[in-house]
């Protein structure tokens, strides 16, 4: 019998059931299968250790062609300890092998607090051997668990305080380009510091949303302010540092903006060769939506 | 508030990569010391390029002090089987705290350079080590070394704050290649699935001289996607400078360097599928001298999950002039495209081109659990001490017609310093 905050890894079954379930148990709870805390080296001098603050996308429902997860830690993490700490399990508790891209160098942010976990692009992308032989790592209609194990360590050598789990419900692939015309925009009143809110048509990559949408004033200068996301990365909110002027503004959309499957503005992640994406064409640009904050009380 | 989509006009304007807000580059003086050191590549003379994923810059470091008096005329081999232990002793740390990143060899002096990190209770300290053929290890002090730096990152937008701390995308450099005054930088973004290949003239100068190209990959001539390059090498095919690269989605592609126009969308041609479920670590190109003394150019793909794949440049050139692969392979375990052979170079952390006769491998010894720095003879891609064969028995009699094998065995024995085992 083991004590654990993780109910899936707590064990109280009769012996015959235990033997049958051993393989699954091992997959999900390798440390506990050895005898729980006894084999995990103590986090000496670590207080409560780092933990996972957030996993993006925040939504439980993700499309089959999802391209990446982001794991935010509460502290700067040690390189090399992270790639092997991330796993994906199907609803039977079996690990999905080869789900993630594992490169020479981990995709860690400069501050060491954000790990980018790419799904193997060769499996996400159609028509390649990896996709043809192995298929995508996740299948629409099924559920999975994305986990970050306690072997992840911060730069002081402290292990993750507890295993982090995120449940996933897979929905069909989303393979069409972003069209800003499909967004609904709540325009604030002039002379106020009300937020402009953009209601998006699907979950977007949160890094992309923070960095690729900006507001410009009549002269084209960036309007200072604060950006926040909501509705599982399906809304973008901008609150200006000072009151809106009653003049023309632009929502400036860098066409590098991506949804969580890598589709961009005007260009899906995958296109057929017959589509108009010929060699030598410029591929990065800016789309703009014009708006003018009305005087309070006006529509 | 008004909710509207119709009242707005959606307008598109295109601009080139080099002018986009996230692609603003600047040389900084004086350059900060590296905060981390990963991918390495030698440039002109004694210039070593070092990728720094924490500062998101590339350093150009003058390592001439480490090369002084080291001119080597004879191609010799590294045989450092206790390298990891020696390096840990030099740094006065536990060997388990070492994290290896990349190796590069200075061609004229045969001095090897290794980027590494040492993990401690307070983080990871970056180090650059030089290693001579005799096994002398020096840790380079970079404070007083001549250095220049080029940034891979755009400055943040002034006046914009976020409700939560969301770092911008940075480029994790996966490979560096230098040719004729240009540093080619491939990498993976920590944010969007960007597939930018950057060309940065050296010495590092102003932004205008840099170009960025979006690489695309068409799966068997059908679906096309952005595809970051994870390993590459530059070769000459019929007088045309050509990149041979592996994408993150693993097929081997060729890209004509003349097609690389700033801001352009460029397609690589798929010439081979080398097997699924594998990630290539590096691609090297070099000449191999045959028994007739004639040099034949080859490309070697170093893999993380399977043995290295050797392709002759003439076979690559033939594939490059054909339409490329048009269908997935026949099934599990099959490969397709340019003819290639698997060579017994595996278990490697990293491999570099060393000299006309050898490759240099930083390698894990799977039996002893040690880290070794060893040379592998081009053409054989093996070390005689790693295999037991009847030829090595003292009483083995070479038969008539086995003269080639005797000479080959003697050569491999001499490479590793077993001169007393040479058989006449």
Identity of the residue in B166, B170, B224 whose CB atom sits nearest the CB atom of A210: B166
The predicted structure's pLDDT at residue A90? 96
**Which residue did the predictor score with more confidence, B156 or A38?**
B156
Question: With bands split at pLDDT 50, 70 and 90, how would you rate the model's confidence at B377?
Answer: very high
Least confident residue range of A39-43, A82-86, B346-350: A39-43
pLDDT at residue B12 tops 60:
no
Residue B148 in contact with residue B48, Cβ under 8 Å? no
At B155-165, the pLDDT tens digits run 778 899 999 88
pLDDT category, B111, cuts 50, 70, 90?
Answer: very high
Residues 316-375 of B with CB under 8 A from A: 328-329, 331-332, 336
What distance in Å separates residue B241's CA from the closest CA in chain A?
18
pLDDT, tens digit (0-9, with 9 covering 90-100), for B289-298: 877 888 999 9
Per-residue pLDDT band at B118 (split at 50, 70, 90): very high
Task: List the single best residue of A110, A205, A220, A258 to mutate versus B (max B Cβ within 10 A).
Answer: A110
**Which chain B residues are closer than 8 Å to A46 by Cβ?**
none
DSSP B34: P
Does residue B308 have a pLDDT over 70?
A: yes
What pLDDT was estimated at residue B143?
86
Residue B293: CB partners within 8 Å, gap ≥ 6?
none
User: Is pLDDT at A34 greater than 50 in this prediction?
Assistant: no
In chain B the first and final C-alpha atoms are separated, in Å, by: 94
Closest to A122 measured CA to CA, from B196, B220, B41:
B220
pLDDT at B121: 73
Given a cut of 80, whether residue A272 has pLDDT beyond it is: no
Instruction: Enter the pTM of the model.
Output: 0.84
As a whole number, mean pLDDT of residues B378-383 equals 89
The pLDDT of residue A14? 35
Among the listed residues A136, A101, A211, the one whose alpha carbon sits nearest the alpha carbon of residue B228: A101
- From chain A, the residues in CB contact with B219 under 8 A are 125-128, 131
Is there a contact between B9 and A290 if contact means CB atoms under 8 Å apart? yes
pLDDT at B208 (0 to 100): 60
Please tell me which residue, B404 or B241, carries the higher pLDDT value.
B241
Contact between B230 and A103 using a beta-carbon 8 Å cutoff: yes
pLDDT exceeds 60 at position A28: no
Which of A283, A287, A294, A297 to mutate against chain B (most B CBs within 10 Å)? A283
Give me the residues of A, 176-195, that contact B with CB < 8 A.
180-189, 194
CA distance A252 to chain B (A): 9
User: What is the model's pLDDT at position A93?
Assistant: 95
**pLDDT value of residue A252:** 96
Q: Which residue has the higher pLDDT, B168 or A21?
A: B168
What average pLDDT score do residues B392-421 get?
85
Task: Residue window 1-60, chain A: list those with CB within 8 Å of chain B.
Answer: none
**Percentage of residues of chain A with pLDDT beyond 90:** 57
| CB pair distance less than 8 Å for A280 and B169 | no
Minimal Cα–Cα distance from A143 to chain B, Å?
23
pLDDT (0 to 100) of residue B26: 44
3-state secondary structure string across chain A: CECCCCHHHCECCCHHHHHHHHHHHHHHCHHHHCCHHHHCCCCCCCCCCCCEEEEECCCCEEECCCCEEEEEECCCECCCCCHHHEEEEECCCCECCCCECCCCCCCECCCCCEEEEEECHHHHCCCCHHHHHHCCCCCCCCEEEEEECCCCEECCCCECCCCEEEEEEEECCCCCCECHHHCEEEECCCCCCCCEEEECCCCECHHHHHHHEEEECCCCCECCEEEEEECCCCEEEEEECCCCCCCCEEEEEECCCEECCCCEECECCEEECCCCCCCCCECCEEEEEEECCCCCCCC
Which whole number is the average pLDDT over B114-126?
87
Mutation for B interface: A211, A248, A273, most B CBs within 10 A:
A211
Mean pLDDT of chain A: 82
Q: How confident is the model at residue A235 (pLDDT cuts 50, 70, 90)?
A: very high
The H-or-E segment that residue B47 falls in is: strand B47-52
Residue B261 exposed, middle or buried by CB count within 10 Å (0-12, 13-18, 19+): middle
Cα A56 from Cα A206, distance rounded (Å): 7
Q: What is the pLDDT of residue B21?
A: 32
Q: Choose the most confident range, by mean pLDDT, from A30-34, B45-49, B381-385.
A: B45-49
Q: Which residues of B touch A53 (CB under 8 A)?
A: none
Q: Does the structure show a pLDDT above 80 at B324? A: no
For residue A51, count CB atoms less than 10 angstroms from its CB and return exposed for 0-12, middle for 13-18, buried for 19 or more: middle
Alpha-carbon gap, residue B418 to B414, rounded angstroms: 5
């Amino acid at each position: 019998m083991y004590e654990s905050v993780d109910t899936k890894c707590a064990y109280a079954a009769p012996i015959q059931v235990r033997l049958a379930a051993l393989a699954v148990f091992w997959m999900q709870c390798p440390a506990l299968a050895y005898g729980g805390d006894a084999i995990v080296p103590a986090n000496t001098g670590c207080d409560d250790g780092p933990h996972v603050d957030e996993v993006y996308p925040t939504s439980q429902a993700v499309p089959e062609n999802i391209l990446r997860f982001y794991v935010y830690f509460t502290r700067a993490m040690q390189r090399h300890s992270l790639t092997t700490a991330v796993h994906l399990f199907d609803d039977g508790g079996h690990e999905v092998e080869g789900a993630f891209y594992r490169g020479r160098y981990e995709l860690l942010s400069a501050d060491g607090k954000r790990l980018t976990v790419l799904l193997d692009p060769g499996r996400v992308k159609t028509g390649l051997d990896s996709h043809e032989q192995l298929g995508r790592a996740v299948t629409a209609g099924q559920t999975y668990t994305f986990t970050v194990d306690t072997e992840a360590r911060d730069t002081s050598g402290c292990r993750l305080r507890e295993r982090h789990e995120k449940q996933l419900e897979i929905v069909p692939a989303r393979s069409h380009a972003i069209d800003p015309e499909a967004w609904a925009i709540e325009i604030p009143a002039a002379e106020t510091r009300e937020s402009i809110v953009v209601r998006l048509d699907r979950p977007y990559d949160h890094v992309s949303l923070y960095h690729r949408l900006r507001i410009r004033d009549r002269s084209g200068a960036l309007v200072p302010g604060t950006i926040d996301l909501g509705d599982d990365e399906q809304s973008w909110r901008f609150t200006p540092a000072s009151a809106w002027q009653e003049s023309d503004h632009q929502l400036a959309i860098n066409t590098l903006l991506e949804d969580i499957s890598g589709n961009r503005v005007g260009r899906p992640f995958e296109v057929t060769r017959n589509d108009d994406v010929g060699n030598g064409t410029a591929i990065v640009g800016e789309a703009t939506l014009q708006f003018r904050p009305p005087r309070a009380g006006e529509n | 508030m008004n909710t509207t989509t119709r009242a707005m006009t959606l307008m598109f304007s295109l601009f080139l990569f080099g002018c986009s807000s996230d692609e603003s580059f600047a040389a900084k003086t004086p350059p900060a010391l590296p905060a981390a050191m990963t991918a390495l590549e030698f440039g002109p003379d004694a210039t070593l390029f070092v990728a720094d994923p924490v500062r998101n810059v590339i350093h150009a470091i003058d390592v001439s002090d480490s090369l002084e008096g080291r001119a080597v005329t004879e191609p010799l081999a590294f045989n450092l089987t206790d390298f990891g232990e020696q390096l840990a002793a030099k740094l006065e740390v536990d060997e388990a705290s070492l994290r290896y990143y990349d190796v590069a060899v200075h061609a004229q002096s045969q001095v090897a350079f290794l980027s590494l990190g040492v993990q401690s209770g307070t983080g990871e300290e970056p180090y650059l080590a030089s290693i001579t053929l005799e096994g002398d290890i020096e840790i380079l002090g970079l404070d007083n070394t001549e250095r220049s730096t080029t940034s891979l990152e755009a400055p943040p937008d002034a006046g914009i704050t976020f409700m939560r701390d969301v770092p911008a995308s940075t480029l994790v450099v996966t490979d560096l290649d230098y040719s004729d005054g240009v540093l080619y930088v491939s990498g993976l973004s920590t944010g969007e699935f960007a597939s930018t290949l950057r060309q940065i003239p050296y010495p590092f100068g102003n932004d205008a001289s840099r170009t960025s190209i979006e690489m695309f990959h068409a799966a068997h001539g059908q679906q096309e996607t952005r595809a970051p390059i994870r390993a590459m090498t530059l070769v000459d095919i019929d007088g045309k400078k050509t990149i041979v690269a592996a994408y993150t989605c693993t097929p081997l592609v060729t890209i004509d360097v003349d097609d690389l126009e700033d801001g352009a969308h460029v397609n690589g041609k798929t010439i081979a599928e080398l097997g699924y479920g594998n990630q290539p670590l590096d691609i090297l190109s070099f000449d191999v001298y045959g028994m007739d003394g004639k040099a034949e150019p080859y490309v070697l793909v170093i893999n993380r999950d399977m043995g290295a794949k050797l392709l002759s440049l003439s076979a690559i050139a033939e594939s490059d002039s054909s339409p490329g692969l048009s269908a997935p392979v026949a099934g599990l375990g099959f490969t397709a495209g340019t003819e290639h052979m698997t060579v017994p170079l595996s278990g490697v952390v990293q491999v570099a081109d060393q000299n006309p006769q050898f490759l240099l491998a930083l390698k894990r010894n799977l039996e002893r659990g040690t880290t070794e720095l060893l040379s592998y003879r081009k053409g054989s891609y093996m070390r005689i001490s790693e295999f037991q064969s009847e030829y090595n028995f003292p009483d083995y009699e070479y038969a008539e017609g086995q003269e080639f094998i005797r000479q080959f065995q003697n050569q491999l024995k001499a490479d590793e310093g077993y001169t007393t085992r040479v058989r006449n």
